[in-house]
Amino acid sequence: MTRETIELGGLPLTLETGRMAKQADGAIWLTLGETTVLATVCANLDAETDFDFMPLTVDYREKLYAVGRIPGGFFKREGRPSEKETLSARLTDRPLRPLFPDGFNKEVQIMINVLSSDGEHDPDVLGTIAASAALSISQVPFLGPVGSVRMAYVDGEFIVNPAFKQLENSALDVVVAGTAESIMMIEGLARLVDEDTFLKAIEIAHGEIKRIVELQNALVKKIGKTKAEFVPRERNTALAERLSKDYDTRVRELLSTPEKQARKKAMKAIVADAAEALETEFPEEDGAIKEWVNARFDQVVRQRVVKDKVRLDGRGPTDIRPITCEIDILPRVHGSALFTRGQTQALGSITLGAKFDEQKVDGIDGVYFKPYMLHYNFPPFSVGEVRKFLGQSRREVGHGNLAWRAIQPVLPAWDDFPYTIRVVSEVLESNGSSSMATVCAGCMSLMAGGVPLKAPVAGIAMGLIEEDGDVAILSDILGDEDHLGDMDFKVTGNEQGITACQMDIKITGISIELMRTAIRQARQGIEHILNKMREAIPEPRPMISPFAPRIAFFTVDPDKIGLIIGPGGRTIRDIIARSGAQIDIEDTGQICISGPSSEEVEKALSILRGMTENPEVGKTYDGRVTKITDFGAFVEILPGREGLLHISEIEYHRVAKVSDHLKVGDPVDVKLVKITPEGKLDLSRKALLPKPEGYVEEPPRERHDRGHGGKGGHDKRPRREKVNDE
């Protein structure tokens, strides 16, 4: 067993190996305080594969026993990965994937399990550290190690490895991963933070990353295995020379085809023609021919961008594609917008709901509710493909989360706008930066739906191409520029600052200065896009859609919650049925009432007010007869509150039989004339009737039936208490 320890964010960070999971190619038992993560690496290094990509799988799981909880549901065990686990797996995959040697196509599986959690810190960044260390000590070829930290910014102070409570008040929540030399990945949220503060956080994070890399190197020095020999597949130089001679001109001509599908079709034609022409001389080399055409095309595009500053579609490095913005595309939804930028198009729509529509999240960081959701859909037709639709992909989860973070800082507080918000983006066309189009479409649909955003935000994807020492930073990259470029850096925000970012690179790293240049260029592009959005809708509408539910709040004494709910929920179900509104009650006594229109909400409010209102002597009530007895009628004057209308208080003349005048269910106006010390209510109907001419008021009689008069108690009529017991 071997251990190495440093301090990270005020807690001891320990990497241990040699005690757990010893049959894996590499295994790391990581602890940070009371949080424990196990990362394992297994690879099929001896298997022959014909993959043309790096088949890396990263699986991240958080066990609920890590925080002493039993999973809910019928099966009582962890199910498929949650959205949080999927996002955490991506945080590990993205910085590790570029660090495998070019051409390495052996299957590698990384499994990360959170086995214990202190409940105060997010273990996602620890999974990246443990996975990197497991790779580094294994035989798997790997150009790491990689470190990863989370940064917060609270009250002017940067915090490394912040706790959940610190993040609640933080202007930053950014995960940074990288090697000792450079940054590999950034993913995070910023609450309109300026670029200098943002970049300072990255610099501090990189300093911590270097320490984490040193820790892993110390472990590798002690027990690291010799890396497996990797020899890239030999290229057929004769085939490459023949292709260069016969087809290089046709590949270059693709530069004059800016339309994506037309270019794709022309490229397929080159591959097909070359494969047919060279079948005799170079049999069974279709894959190599396709690979050469793609690689050569990437090379000529990169060279033209760097040297001539001309991009694939003819734009300059900082040019933004043509933009059109439209709102109210869908007539019955609560808000909709269509954002089109070049060949990328996103249809955004919003749905407003009540508090009970919130998403319940159950994870190791506790059970909580999300009143704001954003879902991103990327169907195959958006890129002109036929593909099996197997549900939401990891990419869709990641892109949706990025757009969610972009908009979240500008949403109104719950107290100002008490609606659950769901934003859905349908990507209808994609040729680069569909997640940033989602930000723009989602923001406009929120404004069209009357959601009072603090300020609109927009997003842009930046690219980088480095060729022979020259660098070009590109604004609003195409899909092919993302594929053939060295960086994909997405930035969202407005004139006030940054709200979210996501950076992935394919080279060994990027400097802070290049990042600074990219952010400044991105801010210029964001300003241009926002101006286009404001032409369609300059500010949020003052009113929400007429199709959106109406919501009202009502607060009662928590002691009265039981009265409202009733036995077995009978009372609240009756209120819902009578009013047509939905009712959600908090333990604090706050009640959220929602309905399709104000009429249902007001009806429910009226009932609730009546139930919780204190009866007032001398006040007139619209009552309802609930029970008939020989000595009077019981009348409900407020929901759940009844009083006795004595037989002598029904009419001015003598009433022989109560049932001759009143029946159960009859409406009756009554006046509350007395509240007894025991809290019982005495009602009168005759007090509201015109007094007959010549009527003489009889002296009040003792009413032994109520149990609060008379000395002997000789009245044989049932007492009130008996009636209530019945």
Q: Is the pLDDT of residue 463 over 80?
A: yes
CATH number at 364 reads 3.30.230.70
Instruction: Write down the mean pLDDT value for the chain.
Output: 90
Q: Is the pLDDT of residue 77 over 90?
A: no
Per residue in 378-411, pLDDT (tens digit) is 999 998 888 887 778 899 999 999 999 999 999 9
Task: Quickly state the pLDDT bin for 667 (edges 50, 70, 90).
Answer: very high
Q: Is the pLDDT of residue 691 over 70?
A: yes
Q: Is the pLDDT of residue 712 over 90?
A: no
Q: Is the pLDDT of residue 645 over 90?
A: yes
CB atoms within 10 A of CB 341: 26
Question: Average pLDDT in the 306-327 region?
Answer: 94
What is the token pair recorded at 525? Answer: 């592009």
Q: Does residue 229 sit within a domain?
A: no
Stretch (H or E) spanning 533 = helix 512-536
The SS3 assignment for 430 reads coil
Question: What is the DSSP code (8-state) at residue 1?
Answer: -
pLDDT at 455: 95
CA pair distance 708, 704, nearest whole angstrom:
7
**The residue to which tokens 């009806």 are assigned:** 603
Count of alpha carbons within 13 angstroms of residue 716, beta-carbon side = 0
Kindly write down the DSSP assignment for every residue of 133-189, as one continuous string.
HHHHHSSS------EEEEEEEETTEEEES--HHHHHT-SEEEEEEE-SSSEEEEEEE
Work out whether the CA dihedral 482, 486, 489, 495 comes out positive or negative: negative
Per residue in 265-294, pLDDT (tens digit) is 999 999 999 999 998 888 888 888 998 999
Question: Average pLDDT in the 558-574 region?
Answer: 87
Task: Quickly state the pLDDT bin for 703 (edges 50, 70, 90).
Answer: very low
Is residue 450 within 8 A of residue 335, CB to CB? The reply is yes
Task: Quickly state the pLDDT bin for 709 (edges 50, 70, 90).
Answer: very low
pLDDT at 177: 95
Task: Quickly state the pLDDT bin for 606 (edges 50, 70, 90).
Answer: confident
Better-scored residue on pLDDT, 640 or 471: 471
The SS3 assignment for 353 reads strand
* 466 and 488 housed in the same domain: yes
* 272 and 403 housed in the same domain: no
The pTM is what?
0.84
Q: Is the pLDDT of residue 715 over 70?
A: no
**The residue to which tokens 């049999």 are assigned:** 283
* 482 and 569 housed in the same domain: no
Q: Is the pLDDT of residue 719 over 50?
A: no
Bond from prior residue into 145 cis (ω within 30 degrees of 0): yes
Q: Is the pLDDT of residue 508 over 70?
A: no
Q: Is the pLDDT of residue 96 over 90?
A: yes
Using alpha carbons, select from 623, 719, 625 the residue that is nearest to residue 634.
625
pLDDT at 329: 96
CA pair distance 242, 355, nearest whole angstrom:
67
Using alpha carbons, select from 151, 212, 226, 222 the residue that is nearest to residue 179.
212
Q: Is the pLDDT of residue 710 over 50?
A: no
Per residue in 189-248, pLDDT (tens digit) is 999 999 999 999 999 999 999 999 999 999 999 999 999 988 877 888 899 999 999 999
Angle (nearest 5°) at CA 612 between 607 and 613: 95
pLDDT at 46: 85
- The distance from CA 697 to its chain's CA centroid, rounded to whole angstroms, is 72
Of 181-185, 391-395, 423-427, 721-725, minimum mean pLDDT range: 721-725
Question: Average pLDDT in the 569-580 region?
Answer: 89
CA pair distance 633, 646, nearest whole angstrom:
6
Q: Does residue 20 sit within a domain?
A: yes
Using alpha carbons, select from 201, 224, 220 the residue that is nearest to residue 212.
220
Q: Is the pLDDT of residue 707 over 50?
A: no
* 336 and 197 housed in the same domain: no
CA pair distance 128, 285, nearest whole angstrom:
39
In degrees to the nearest 10, what's the CA dihedral of 88, 94, 96, 98?
170
Provide the β-strand partners of residue 326: 338
CB atoms within 10 A of CB 458: 28
Is residue 61 within 8 A of residue 113, CB to CB? The reply is yes
CA pair distance 311, 717, nearest whole angstrom:
99
pLDDT at 723: 41
Q: Does residue 317 sit within a domain?
A: no
Count of alpha carbons within 13 angstroms of residue 726, beta-carbon side = 10
CATH number at 603 reads 3.30.1370.10
**The residue to which tokens 């190996």 are assigned:** 17
CA pair distance 535, 492, nearest whole angstrom:
19
* 590 and 625 housed in the same domain: no
In degrees to the nearest 10, what's the CA dihedral of 133, 516, 187, 315?
-120
CA pair distance 321, 475, nearest whole angstrom:
9
Q: Does residue 318 sit within a domain?
A: no
Better-scored residue on pLDDT, 402 or 710: 402
Question: Average pLDDT in the 314-321 region?
Answer: 94
Angle formed by the axes of helices 83-96 and 124-137, to 10°? 40
Per residue in 231-248, pLDDT (tens digit) is 877 888 899 999 999 999
CA pair distance 518, 474, nearest whole angstrom:
8
* 381 and 497 housed in the same domain: yes
Order the strands of the 35-43 sheet from edge to edge. Answer: 2-8, 11-17, 26-32, 35-43, 108-116, 56-62
3-state secondary structure 261-291: HHHHHHHHHHHHHHHHHCCCCCCCCHHHHHH
pLDDT at 640: 67
Q: Does residue 190 sit within a domain?
A: yes
- The whole domain housing 532 covers 323-536
In degrees to the nearest 10, what's the CA dihedral of 250, 252, 258, 260?
60
Number of domains in the chain: 5
* 414 and 366 housed in the same domain: yes
Question: Average pLDDT in the 448-452 region?
Answer: 96
Q: Does residue 228 sit within a domain?
A: no
Better-scored residue on pLDDT, 484 or 374: 374
Percentage of the chain modeled with pLDDT above 70: 95
pLDDT at 397: 95
- The distance from CA 328 to its chain's CA centroid, rounded to whole angstroms, is 24
* 167 and 250 housed in the same domain: no
CA pair distance 591, 639, nearest whole angstrom:
16
- The distance from CA 717 to its chain's CA centroid, rounded to whole angstroms, is 66
Q: Is the pLDDT of residue 256 over 90?
A: no
* 129 and 9 housed in the same domain: yes
Query: In this structure, what are the phi and psi dihedrals at residue 706, rounded to the nearest 5 degrees?
Result: -90, -10
pLDDT at 95: 94
CA pair distance 249, 44, nearest whole angstrom:
40
Of 583, 612, 641, the last residue of a domain is 612
Using alpha carbons, select from 193, 125, 183, 145 the residue that is nearest to residue 4.
145
Radius of gyration of the chain (CA): 35
Q: Does residue 523 sit within a domain?
A: yes
CA pair distance 487, 477, nearest whole angstrom:
10
Question: Average pLDDT in the 97-122 region?
Answer: 93
Per residue in 148-159, pLDDT (tens digit) is 999 999 999 999
Q: Does residue 257 sit within a domain?
A: yes
Of 282, 308, 334, the last residue of a domain is 308
Of 281, 308, 335, the last residue of a domain is 308
CA pair distance 488, 522, nearest whole angstrom:
12
Question: Average pLDDT in the 688-716 region?
Answer: 56
| Alpha-carbon distance values, 562 to 40, 73, 580, 640 (Å) | 52, 27, 21, 11
Task: Quickly state the pLDDT bin for 700 (edges 50, 70, 90).
Answer: low
Query: In this structure, what are the phi and psi dihedrals at residue 146, rounded to the nearest 5 degrees?
Result: -125, 140
Question: Average pLDDT in the 405-421 region?
Answer: 94
Question: What is the DSSP code (8-state) at residue 53?
Answer: S
The SS3 assignment for 26 reads strand
CA pair distance 145, 215, nearest whole angstrom:
10
* 54 and 149 housed in the same domain: yes
* 531 and 607 housed in the same domain: no
* 608 and 625 housed in the same domain: no
Question: Average pLDDT in the 166-184 region?
Answer: 94
What is the token pair recorded at 637? Answer: 């004057």
